[in-house]
Structures are given as structure tokens and as C-alpha cells.
Structure 1
Amino acid sequence: MPTVALVLYLVFLALAFGLRTLTQYRRTGSSGFHGVGGRVGSVRWWGGALFVLAVLLGVAAPLLQVTGVVDAVGFLDATPVAVVGLVLALAGIGGTLAAQQGMGASWRIGVDQRETTDLVTSGTFTVVRNPIFTTMTTAGLGLALLAPNVVALVGVAGLVAAIEIQVRVVEEPYLLRTHGQRYRDYATRVGRFVPGLGRLST
């Protein structure tokens, strides 16, 4: 189902990045987009660069499979796998959009160290601290299973690496500096990406 994967991926990008950015700009006067930050070659820079690469590979994977440039990985090229992929993709896309909505005006792509936004701990943020990244990874995995080739799998691995770097190296230190003990208390109760896992020590 690589054609389905391509359509869903493009719709996902249009809603989660395009429409969301436009909505944010209309609401706050800022797009919320801070791009790839950090010195070129730094860990922070690699986090942003890997994220961009993962998005590009995510689009390229189904396109390359549809055009016959790459083939599906044999054992993943099965209807049950595609069904699981479709369920994960739809759940992940819906979850990402819901979590973005839950962030309200605090939604951002990247971090501006000079900026202070409200700490959001309600809604899906009571379950995990990074529900957007959790659901985005779910969507990415589902889309990869709909077009299960090597390019798609590399893209998912890049997405996971990028998110880990962004959260651990950029966002958590920023939130600790900005919100101090309030964020630490929250992070000791709520898991990073999965409920109960990745909580900060007191």
C-alpha cells in the first residue's frame, strides 16, 4: 500500500506542519517555527538535521516503491503488516494533531532559548511529557509499514534518533532552566515518551 502511505504522509505534513503553522501565526503572530539550531556539526544541529532527513526519507520511501526504484522488504510485504501500519498511521496522525491542539499557543518547532512559553501539563500531557513526539513516531512507524522498504526503515530510525536528541539535549534542559522545580516535579511524575518510563529522578 505504498500509494496510501504517500497520500497519508503528504496529508500529515500539510496538517501537522502547514496548517498548524498557519493557525499558530494567526493566533500569536509567530509561526512557531525555529528551524535547525546550534552550531553546524553539534549534537543539537544533528538533531534538527536528522529530523529534516527523516521527513524527506518518509516522503521518498513510498514514492520510490510506487515507481519501482526500491522493493518492499520481503517479510514485511504482507497484508496483516499493512493493516497494522494503517491503524498505527491513522492513530498517530490523529494523536499528533490532538496533542498539537492541546499545546495551544505554546506549540513550537524547535526552541528559541530567549522565549518563554507556558508549561503544558494537561490533556495528553498528563500521560506522557512528549505526546506529539510519541504519536509522531507512531505515525512514522505505521507509514513505514505501509511502504516497508529500506528507505522507510532508515527514515523511522532517523526520526527516533532526532526526537531523542531534541528532547534530551535541547528541550528538557530548556524546560528545566525556564520552569525550574515546576517542570522537575512534573517530569518526576510523568514518563518521557511512554507512560511511567523516562521519568526524571528527584
Structure 2
Amino acid sequence: MTPEAATVTGLLLYLAGVVAAFGIRTWMHRRRTGSTGWRGLSGRPGSAEWWGGTMFAAAMLLGAAGPALAVAGVGPARVPLPSAVAWVGLVAGGLGFVGTLAAQAGMGASWRIGVDPAERTTLVTGGVFAVVRNPIFTAMATALVGVALLAPTAVTLAALVSLVVAVQLQVRVVEEPYLRHTHGAAYVDYTARVGRFVPGVGRARTRETEESGTRSP
């Protein structure tokens, strides 16, 4: 795959993924539940919660801008990579976006963008959520890695970094405290069984597991 074809492919893949994951998904969710599922930014401006949402929005914009600028021939130049890397990027990007859609579908009526502290949704622990607690974010990061390999520029890399930071803030500062407060012991037990973003990694230690570890020979 030529660099030019890879860049165009990255742009088209990204735009199709965003339209499906946010546009079509929002439309389907509203038809089924009467709500768009969008809850907006959390926290006061300048807080960690606010930065999480702001950097997520920035990542989405930069993800489109990186390949778009490269296609137009303006902005930072592409980093030269072996042509085989583009095919790896295409596979990663495709799997990432498909995984995002599958994980969103797995949430059913509980799917949200952002958190409303006064709202109580069902705790989803089955399907891909039995493998990792945040499969949507894991899949989105995988998709953006793929796009970055197809259109390797400083802007696309900035999008990936922004997404990783945004996801860490959103999950650790916003979503996990909300779920712990809303679902109590059920959520604590879930975090002890299932990794945060990668299977087996980022599991919480409950009092029971700590006591079990102390008693182990």
C-alpha cells in the first residue's frame, strides 16, 4: 500500500468509524430508549473530570485532522514507515472500530457518553465486559492506533496521546467513583475479577482478596 493510499484509507476508516460509533449509535439509542445517551462534560472547568471530557473531544478532532491534513498535503509530514505497517494499521483500525460497535451494543440501554450522577443504570458485566471493564475505550484506542499507523503524523500521534489521557481520567476520576457509589459491593466484586482495559490488568484488591493473600502460604 502506497503512503498516499494508506493516508486516504486512514481518513475514510476514521470517518466511517466515528459516524457509526457516535452518529448511528446515538440515533439507534434514541429510537430504542427515547434518550440520546449523551450526558456531556463532568466537573467544573479546569477540574480533572472536565479535562477528561475536553481531551476526549480534542482526540476525536485531532484523529480526523491528522489524516485529513496529510491528504491535503499540509501540516506535519508523514513519518516514513515500511509499507507493511499500513496493512497492520488497517487490520487494527478495522478491528478496533468493529470492537467499539460490538461493545456499545453489549451495553444495551445502559450506553452513555458521560455520566449523570443522579442517574442509575444497569451494571453490565456480561459479554465482552466479562473480559475487560472498559471494552469500548480499549477498542477505540486500538482503532486510533490503526489510524496512526495508516497516517503517521504528529497530529495523529497527538490524537492517540490525548485519547489515552482522556480515557484514564474519565474512567478513574468519573466513571469508577460513580459506579462504586451506585452499585456498591457488586461493582467492587466486579473490579476484583475483571481488568480495567486489558484482561487481568488493573483489577482492584478487595478486603477479601487481601485477607486471602495474607493467609496464603
Fold-level match, TM-score > 0.5? Answer: yes
Q: What is the alpha-carbon root mean square deviation over aligned residues?
A: 0.7
Which residue of structure 2 lines up, in the alignment, with residue 72 of structure 1? Answer: 78
Q: Deviations over 1:102-158 (max 9, x none)?
A: 000000000000100000000000100000000010001101110000000011000
Once the 2 structures are TM-superposed, how far is the Cα of residue 78 of structure 1 from its aligned partner?
2.1
Output the CA distance in 1 between the equivalents of 2:83 and 2:160: 20
Deviation at 1:67, TM superposition (A): 1.0
Alpha-carbon distance between aligned partners in 1 of 2:176 and 2:114, rounded to the nearest angstrom: 12
Distance 1:108 1:81 in 2: 34
Aligned to 1:37: 42
What's the counterpart of residue 24 of structure 1? 29
Name the CA distance, whole Å, in 2 between partners of 1:29 and 1:114.
Answer: 18
CA distance in 1, matches of 2:120, 2:145: 32
- Whole-Å separation in 1 of the counterparts to 2:72 and 2:19: 23
What residue ranges of structure 1 are gaps of 5+ in the alignment?
Answer: none
Identity, % of aligned positions: 58
1:15 and 2:20 matched: yes
For 2:178, the aligned partner's letter is Y
Q: C-alpha distance in 1, partners of 2:38/2:8?
A: 29
Distance in 2, matches of 1:67 and 1:78, equals 22
Partner of 1:149: 153
For residues 66 and 41 of structure 2, the distance between their equivalents in structure 1, rounded to whole angstroms, comes to 23
**8 A Cα contact 2:42 2:174, kept in partner:** no
Larger Cα-atom Rg: 2
Unaligned runs of 5+ in 2: 1-5, 207-217
Q: Give a deviation string over 1:45-83, Cα, whole Å, max 9, x none.
A: 000000000000000000111111131113xx2211111
Q: 1:61 aligns with which of 49, 62, 66?
A: 66
Deviates more, 1:51-60 or 1:61-70: 61-70
Structure 2 length normalisation: TM-score? 0.91
**How many pairs does the alignment contain?**
200
TM-score by length of 1: 0.98
Counterpart of 1:109 in 2: which secondary structure?
Answer: coil
Give deviations 1:144-200, integer Å, cap 9, x for gaps. 110000000011000000000000000000000000000000110000000000001
Q: Distance in 1 between matches of 2:186 and 2:113?
A: 22
Hey, which bits of structure 1, 4+ residues long, moved more than 4 A?
Answer: none
Looking at structure 1, the residues matched to 79 and 50 of structure 2 have their Cα atoms a distance apart, in angstroms, of 31
What is the CA distance between 1:37 and its match in structure 2?
2.0
- Aligned residue for 1:129, secondary structure, equals coil
> 1:38 Cα deviation (Å)?
1.2
Are 1:185 and 2:204 counterparts? no
Kept in 1: contact 2:99–2:136 (CA 8 A): yes
Q: What does residue 98 of structure 2 align with?
A: 94
